[in-house]
Amino acid sequence: MEVRESSGPRPTIADVAEAAGVARSTVSRAMNREHRFYRSPSAARIRAVAESLGYEPNPTAANLRRQQTNTVGVLVSRLTDTVMAMLFEEIAAASAARGYHALVATTYDDPALERENGLAMLASRVDGLILTTATTEGGLCTELLARGIPHVLALRSYGESLSVVGDDVLGGYLATRHLIDLGHREIGLVAGPDHAPTALSRREGHRQALREAGIEDAPELVYPSTFSMESGEAAAEAFLAGRRRPTAVFAVNDNTAFGFTSVIQRAGLSIPRDLSIVGYNDIPLVARLPVPLTTVRVPFADIASASVDALLNSIQGRAPTAAHRTLAPTLIPRASTARPSTPPDAPR
């Protein structure tokens, strides 16, 4: 078909509608690749008419009509947490690859601040939210679900909200199974916060591995913590003060493993000769420590990519391929774990 040379005013959607003998809304649907009408013969005819007129759709105007801004909001607990910073960078990269911008806000584990910042992002017209902050009570995601606002949970899951997570039960199992396979029978747990589903799942994996090996789950070998280095230090102080010392410890994230290890080494104990330790997440620093940390690697890039895809599907009204996706972690053995120097049945 002959294309009209561009001269004078640019053709509008009204010009295309008149030339094709259809309504403007029909032209809009014919130009929208996400609409089912786009693949019909009628839509192809309308696009041919548009091409002959030299009409070019304005994507920015289309977004404004749909009240879309091609931005997504991301809520994290804090960006000083390496895991949260890594995940946001991956989400931002995955969003950019799909033509979206990612904005971030921090909540500091405060439900009121989470709600305030989430609603502020929505007021600034982000198209949807990715939350890494859901707790066992749900938090903001319960309100978003009730209001039908597109959102996805990353690294967390709650209720019917779309979620993409690592398999934390499997990760906890792999960490503890590794220690058991090395010959450890007295295995401690730096447990993580009770409000975090990730910590609870990693604990469950730890217990599964113990049960499978016929090892008693001893409460005195469980050390409470948050996900901070300071709480790891406090857990190590409790370890040193305890009457019963394990030969190995699984810390449910790398930060607590850092804190735990620093106190142990200042006390004159050697890792892994006196104590083996496993962390969780595989943040970049752990491979470069004086004693590189054995840890469980979480596939952050895959989780971020799947979270963005799930959110964009929700924004565009497409049914999710799966409401909840779970991606497998990988154990990364390094120098912080070894066979126990003291036989398992010997007094310590």
Q: What residue ranges of the chain have pLDDT lower than 50?
A: 1-7, 60-61, 63-65, 346-348
CA 310 – CA 92 distance, rounded (Å): 14
Q: What is the pLDDT of residue 133?
A: 84
Average pLDDT, the chain: 89
Q: What is the pLDDT of residue 58?
A: 62
CA 191 – CA 103 distance, rounded (Å): 32
Tell me the torsion sign for CA atoms 178, 184, 185, 186: negative
> Position 47: which residue type?
R
Question: In angstroms, how far is CA 334 from the centroid of its own chain?
Answer: 25
Written as six digits, the tokens of 255 are 């930060």
Instruction: Give the DSSP letter of residue 263.
Output: H
H helix runs in the chain, sequence order:
13-20, 24-31, 41-53, 59-65, 82-97, 111-123, 140-147, 168-181, 197-212, 229-241, 254-266, 300-315
Look at residues 143, 66, 73, 83 and name the one whose alpha carbon lies nearest to residue 112.
Answer: 143
Q: What is the pLDDT of residue 59?
A: 53
Is the distance from CB of 134 to CB of 161 less than 8 angstroms?
Answer: yes
> Position 132: which residue type?
T
Count other C-beta atoms under 10 Å from residue 150's C-beta: 20
Q: What is the pTM of this model?
A: 0.77
Q: What is the pLDDT of residue 65?
A: 46
Is the distance from CB of 75 to CB of 108 less than 8 angstroms?
Answer: no
Preceding amide of 333 cis, omega within 30: no
Written as six digits, the tokens of 165 are 């997570």
> Position 67: which residue type?
Q
Torsion angle, alpha carbons of 131, 137, 143, 145, to 10: 70
Question: Measuring CA to CA, how many Å separate 35 from each of 26, 29, 38, 281, 291?
Answer: 11, 6, 6, 40, 55
> Position 93: which residue type?
A
Question: Measuring CA to CA, how many Å separate 335 from each of 273, 287, 294, 328?
Answer: 10, 9, 7, 23
Residue in this structure with the two tokens 């931002």, named with its chain if needed: 92
